[in-house]
Amino acid sequence: MSKEDDAIERLINEHQVADLIGVSVATVRRWRLHGRGPRYLKIGVLVRYCPRAVRAWLMARPTGGDSDDASSRQKLMLRKRRLPSLVPPSIGKDTAEAGSLKTSVGTN
């Protein structure tokens, strides 16, 4: 088997990516639709991910704390098997404002 064949065998699908990082397949698809998430390959109708690209994407995600040590960040992400929220802060504000609007409407 050649190195190219070996590389193709190591590609993973969206279900495996979702399982690896602890999110639903729908979330992985939504990220792909909106240009977020790990880089992927399109092979005809198939979508495949290189595990190295998934790992690099995880490492690039912001983390809490003071440590910039990449190995500790990777260990933390793999141990928790989850991603930080990708909801923009402006959505939280809109939700809070909508709640205050409902309150003011209800009091009139």
Element spanning 43, H or E? strand 41-43
At 66-88, the pLDDT tens digits run 655 556 656 655 655 554 444 44
Global pTM reads 0.53
Label residue 41 by pLDDT band (50, 70, 90): very high
Give percent of the chain above pLDDT 70: 52
- pLDDT at residue 101 is higher than 60: no
Domain edges within the chain: 3-107
Closest of 38, 40, 34, 32 to residue 59, by C-alpha: 38
Torsion from C-alpha of 62, 59, 19, 25, nearest 10 degrees: 60
Question: Cα separations (Å) of 77 from 4, 61, 82?
Answer: 29, 10, 7
